[in-house]
A and B are shown apart, each in its own frame.
Chain A
């Protein structure tokens, strides 16, 4: 099997998902309106606090917007590109993985493309806008380096979302009766990495940095862009952490698959 085949299968399936959903115009509009509102609400929460207090610890509103916006972009990309992961729990429970087990490219390729959420466009665009507005307010200067860094951070962030979600989804291979509550619960932690991590107590910072590293998907890269000295050294670990979690997630997935196949459905 040639190397480009998995990529072509991936692109084809994503295109088919988009095509199928594009049939439903109303869905598309409502779904994206809804995500825009959701982003707005998350920001409004912070804004209401800022109205009363003026700053969040040592962070200004514009800085918080940079973090918030940058955190939203990988989320939107994940929803567009890999949203099928949400279905894993149901597929394991109902034995629906079987039909993917022997297809070229491996079952993960098919599972992740079972769904592509077009409303990810809303997250993506809103995130970029909030990021841009915040960056302008802060007076961020753009060089080739910082642009490349931002793009790289977004890519890493998307891979991190993918890896974390894959791990929490794979738990269903061994634990029955979870439904999607674990995945949803772990994913909901990412809401809080849209705000500056340094305001949280240490245990939480550690959790969101090393255990469920959503912090690397938005906050830490943003901190580098904002030139915040206290966090820069952690932020340079970005590619390392991304690579490690990606590798671990694939290992766990494969182990889970072996368990699934051996129990026979």
Chain B
């Protein structure tokens, strides 16, 4: 029953996350500000146009809020905790436990991410609903598929964060890399601008990257812009990326551990 061990790890992280109430509150506040700013940029853009690239202003607003909720199922700690544990040497304790390192980190990140994501998501979605005219899922099927897509998005997110976090086995100054990776992922996931707005060549690149599975795929399912066969295809693509990135993570980890230097002699 190894699953109990991983579950226990996740639960403990969740408990710790809940104690950081202030962290959550500031996360909500700054998140709202960011949505607002994007909203205003789009409102200026929509002056004189009612539909752009298949989105009405209301759909765009919904897009912004739902994508924000999605991006909050993501903890900043995931990449940086790997790096800080290496820097202070406590990674040693993780390496001697009878647990799969990747799986254990996933369980931990799930623990904090679910707490933060659900809490922040509820508050922000409520604000969006009441004050900005955010709409609900297009159809009941869309709603169910959205939930599935959200779970898959969580896993892709982790797999990417894990890979980036592993860089700290080679060098501990990962802050610059992490920050930049977040923005690149943000851009290509469709969180800043829906992929439909990209020029054709950029959109092609985005289609072949795993990042769109983090935001774009779940949101367009929510909005009902893909349905039926195409919807199942999108879900399958998300799942395929998870497998690829997870295996890549395991492989890089094996390389990383051979290369590890821990202080103290």
Direct contact of A and B (CB under 8 A): yes
B34 and A177: CB pair below 8 A?
Answer: no
B187 and A41: CB pair below 8 A?
Answer: yes
CB of B173 closer than 8 Å to a CB of A? yes
A200-223 with Cβ < 8 A to chain B: 200-201, 204, 207
| A/B pair count, beta carbons within 8 Å | 114
Chain B nearest Cβ from A261, distance in angstroms: 23
B37 and A204: CB pair below 8 A?
Answer: yes
CB of B148 closer than 8 Å to a CB of A? no
Name the CB-closest residue of A to B21: A177
Q: Mark B47-84, 1 if CB is under 8 A from A, else 0.
A: 00100110000000000000000000000100000000
A177 and B20: CB pair below 8 A?
Answer: yes
A49 and B197: CB pair below 8 A?
Answer: yes
Bound-state CA distance A44–B199 (Å) is 11
Bound-state CA distance A178–B29 (Å) is 13
Name the CB-closest residue of A to B170: A26
B176 and A31: CB pair below 8 A?
Answer: yes
User: Known: A45-B192, A48-B202, A192-B37. Is A27-B27 also a contact (CB below 8 A)?
Assistant: no
Q: Which of A128-136, A137-145, A180-188 lies at the interface with chain B?
A: A180-188
The residues of A that contact B29 with a CB separation of less than 8 Å are: 185
Q: Which of B38-46, B139-147, B151-159 lies at the interface with chain A?
A: B38-46
Interface residues of B, count at CB 8 A: 41
A179 and B180: CB pair below 8 A?
Answer: no
Q: Which of the listed residues A34, A179, A186, A191 has the most CB atoms from chain B within 10 Å of its own CB?
A: A34
Q: Which of A51-59, A96-104, A149-157, A233-241 lies at the interface with chain B?
A: A51-59
B30 and A186: CB pair below 8 A?
Answer: yes
CB of B138 closer than 8 Å to a CB of A? no
Bound-state CA distance A24–B22 (Å) is 36
User: Known: A181-B27, A199-B44. Is A41-B171 also a contact (CB below 8 A)?
Assistant: no
A33-52 with Cβ < 8 A to chain B: 34-35, 37-38, 41-42, 44-45, 48-49, 51-52
The residues of B that contact A44 with a CB separation of less than 8 Å are: 187, 202
B interface, over-half SS:
helix
CB of A161 closer than 8 Å to a CB of B? no
Q: How large is the interface on A (under 10, 10 to 19, 20 to 34, 35 or more residues)?
A: 35 or more
The residues of A that contact B181 with a CB separation of less than 8 Å are: 34
The residues of A that contact B171 with a CB separation of less than 8 Å are: 24, 26-27, 30
CB of B19 closer than 8 Å to a CB of A? yes
Chain B nearest Cβ from A121, distance in angstroms: 10
Bound-state CA distance A189–B26 (Å) is 13
The residues of B that contact A30 with a CB separation of less than 8 Å are: 167, 171, 176-177
Bound-state CA distance A48–B19 (Å) is 41
Name the CB-closest residue of B to A50: B45
B184 and A178: CB pair below 8 A?
Answer: no
CB of B251 closer than 8 Å to a CB of A? no
B183 and A42: CB pair below 8 A?
Answer: yes
CB of A195 closer than 8 Å to a CB of B? yes
Name the CB-closest residue of B to A179: B23
Bound-state CA distance A49–B52 (Å) is 11
The residues of B that contact A181 with a CB separation of less than 8 Å are: 20, 22-23, 26-27, 30
Name the CB-closest residue of A to B47: A57
Bound-state CA distance A263–B177 (Å) is 37
A175 and B30: CB pair below 8 A?
Answer: no
Chain B nearest Cβ from A214, distance in angstroms: 12
CB of B193 closer than 8 Å to a CB of A? yes
The residues of B that contact A42 with a CB separation of less than 8 Å are: 183
Name the CB-closest residue of B to A51: B199
A49 and B45: CB pair below 8 A?
Answer: yes
Chain B nearest Cβ from A159, distance in angstroms: 22
B27 and A56: CB pair below 8 A?
Answer: no
A117 and B76: CB pair below 8 A?
Answer: no
Name the CB-closest residue of B to A123: B176
Bound-state CA distance A56–B187 (Å) is 19
A48 and B180: CB pair below 8 A?
Answer: no
Bound-state CA distance A38–B175 (Å) is 13
Q: Mark B219-230, 1 if CB is under 8 A from A, else 0.
A: 000000000000
The residues of A that contact B179 with a CB separation of less than 8 Å are: 34-35, 38
CB of B248 closer than 8 Å to a CB of A? no
The residues of A that contact B44 with a CB separation of less than 8 Å are: 56-57, 199
Chain A nearest Cβ from B44, distance in angstroms: 5
Interchain residue pairs with CB less than 8 A apart (10): A30-B171, A34-B181, A44-B202, A45-B192, A177-B20, A178-B22, A181-B22, A184-B30, A184-B76, A189-B34
Q: Given A38-B180, A53-B49, A199-B40, 10 other A-B contacts at CB below 8 A?
A: A38-B184, A41-B184, A49-B197, A52-B52, A56-B44, A177-B19, A177-B21, A178-B22, A181-B27, A189-B34
Binding site for B on A (CB under 8 A): 21, 24, 26-27, 30-32, 34-35, 37-38, 41-42, 44-45, 48-49, 51-53, 56-57, 117, 119, 122, 175, 177-179, 181-182, 184-186, 188-189, 191-192, 195, 199-201, 204, 207
